Structure 1
Amino acid sequence: MHESFTVREMTRKEVDLLVDWAALEGWNPGLHDAEIFWKTDAEAYIAAEVRGDLIGGGAITAYGDDFGFMGFFIVRPEFRGHGFGNRLWHIRRDRLKTRLRPDASIGMDGVFAMQDYYARGGFNFSHRNLRYRVELSAFEGVSTQCPDEIIPLSEVSFDQIIAYDRTCFPASRRIFLKAWLSQPEALSLGYVQFGSLCGYGVIRRCRNGCKVGPLFANSYKVADMLLKRLVSFADDGPIFLDVPENNPAAMSLAKHYGMEEVFGCARMYLGPMPDIARDRIFGVTTFELG
């Protein structure tokens, strides 16, 4: 059977299938994730086949040649334990390296149980990203009135958004953000003071409830104000926020609202650790694309 194992680029429809598999795994994808991810980097999606049957896949997203991210790694349950996932993972890693400059970093969010495996593949641990869940009732009685500084992100110049985002992410992600910030069934807000963007956040509808991500802010106060306004977008179901454990202020924000930890991943890097403003990251964008 191993002689019949092949890899190739995925089609657009197969990315929809990969998102459906992710939903079955409990990853709770956003309603428009597949289209946005495809627009970001259509060459990122690698399919694994056995005798012509699609058995797994994953993304190797390249942000120019500056930074790459490995995510969306899934093998169908009935094909696990046979070495196919191991082969697919190494092929994806090696292909992504060829898409980047030699000194570029590659990031990933891996489940804790696989952390040693990824370390053997050259990745070094940075920190944990913890998924928190909170019910809307946690915000009952909390004022969600919008201060003058919080405005629709569409009213902020895109170049200013890109510049701010670049302080929190290892590379410019202009293509991704153009789609992410304008997606349907979502709300994007910025905090602008004296003409300067001091933080921004996005909330989007998912298969279950809504996710906030990213949530970037110069301070706890700004992050809190953005979060309170963002959650008013959700009319039903829980809210999810993926919090980096290496930002104590972000952890304090989750604790303040009594959020429950429900999942987590180890953020790991192959190559140099990125130089980013970790104290501004209150919620990561996605576990799939970084």
Structure 2
Amino acid sequence: MTQSLAIRPMTRPEAVGHIALTIAEGWNPGLHDTEAFLACDPDAFIAAELDGKVIGGGAITAYGDSFGFMGLFIMHPELRRQGLGSQLWRARRDRLLARLNPGATIGMDGVFAMADWYARGGFVLSHRNLRFCMDVPADRVCEPFAEIVPATDIPFEALAAYDRSCFPAPRDAFLKAWITLPDRKAVALVRDGQLAGYGVVRRCREGCKIGPLFADDADGAEVLFAALAPFAAGGSLFMDVPEPHTDAMAMVVRHGMSEVFGCARMYLGAIPDIAHERVYGVTTFELG
């Protein structure tokens, strides 16, 4: 008989510890992802408690009341395959639905092996997001690009509006943290006085990771990539790419990047109406 879990909000220290568990899972978080995740939605983290001990948890991030994202779903290894994770996952889904307006969409990035199971919980496959990796030579330097400026030089309202075209809901608190935290480089592409894209690269437990990479077109994405990649000089560079985006896939192939991981992007509810053609690199698998 499956034991009954106590499902409750995590304390802030518990949330910090839970995010640290992603290192053991090989998820390779950014050095300061915790700060951005908690700035985005401090009430997102849910704990599963058994006999007074936290044995797992996950995030149910609400972006206002119109869109949510499920991520960071982890159970302690010795308690997996006992039905406990299923209890937690369903409880998280239902709690997130209760935080949103009726009919709101929830997204998630799940490992391929679990996609059928998530489908039984109401989620429908949209596409695959694939992680690519390359080694950046230690002597690679960033060439000057007249079109590239620090993202913080752009009026935040303009940057947030561009981000909103590529993401299903406003995420101002997250974005402010994401472009200003340490150990990262955030740049914007400006053409004829208009914002035409932006990207962020951050240091992770292993190497560096680009995310997001949003651009009006392939040429702009290439310039942003060239401005961000040298940040990883002497180490590995990762980027998560939507598989249906042919220009994005062509770009990682052109740079000799190898596929190393992937997730199924799934939605409960309508697939968001965003500028998918601008999304060359996903922001995070954990928060969307």
- Aligned partners of 2:249 and 2:8: how far apart in 1? 40
Give 1:14 deviation, angstroms: 1.4
**In the alignment, is the contact (CA less than 8 A) between 1:189 and 1:200 conserved in 2?**
yes
1:235 CA drift (Å)? 3.5
1:224-257 Cα deviation digits (max 9, x unpaired): 1111111122233200000000110000001001
Question: Where does structure 1 lack aligned partners over 5 or more consecutive residues?
Answer: none
- Determine which of 231, 238, 249 is the counterpart of 1:233: 231
Equivalent-residue separation in structure 1 for 2:3 and 2:82 (angstroms)? 13
Aligned equivalents of 1:222 and 1:131: distance in 2? 21
Distance in 2, Cα, partners of 1:250 & 1:147: 21
Q: Summarize deviations over 1:36-56 as a string: whole Å, max 9, x none.
A: 101110110000011011110
CA distance in 2 between partners of 1:219 and 1:102 (Å) = 35
Q: 2:78: which partner in 1? A: 78
One-letter code aligned to 2:48: A
Tell me the TM-score normalised to structure 2 length. 0.97
1:177 aligns with 2:202: no
Aligned to 1:277: 275
Is contact 1:246–1:278 with CA below 8 Å preserved after alignment? no
Query: In the TM superposition, what is the alpha-carbon distance from 1:3 to its structure 2 partner?
Result: 4.7
1:236–1:13 distance in 2 versus 1, CA, 3 Å: farther
Tell me the SS of whatever aligns to 2:270. Answer: coil
Q: CA deviation at 1:4?
A: 5.1
- In 1, Cα distance between the equivalents of 2:199 and 2:21? 27
Q: Give the paired residue count.
A: 288
Kindly report structure 1 stretches of 4+ aligned residues shifted beyond 4 Å: 1-4
User: Residue 26 of structure 2 aligns to a residue in which SS?
Assistant: coil
**TM-score (normalised: structure 1):** 0.96
CA distance in 1, matches of 2:234, 2:83: 41
Tell whether the 8 Å contact from 2:139 to 2:234 is kept in structure 1 after alignment.
Answer: no
Q: Distance in 2 between matches of 1:253 and 1:140?
A: 21
1:159 maps to: 157
**Contact 2:131/2:260 (8 A) holds in 1:** yes
Q: Which runs of 5+ in 2 are unaligned?
A: none
RMSD across aligned positions (CA): 1.4
Which structure 2 residues correspond to residues 103-118 of structure 1 after superposition, within 5 A?
103-118=103-118
Match of 1:18 in 2: 18
User: What secondary structure, in the 3-state scheme, does the structure 1 residue paired with 2:231 have?
Assistant: coil
SS at match of 1:27: coil
The aligned residue for residue 264 of structure 1 is 262
Alignment of 1:155-234 (within 5 A): 155-234=153-232
Change (3 A) 1:9 1:25: same
| Offset of residue 2 of structure 1 | 4.7
Instruction: Report the Cα offset of residue 140 of structure 1.
Output: 6.8
Give the drift of 1:144. Answer: 3.3
Alignment correspondent of 2:55: 55
CA 1:47–1:20 in structure 2 vs 1: closer, same or farther (change >3 Å)? Answer: same
Shift, 1:176, TM fit: 0.7
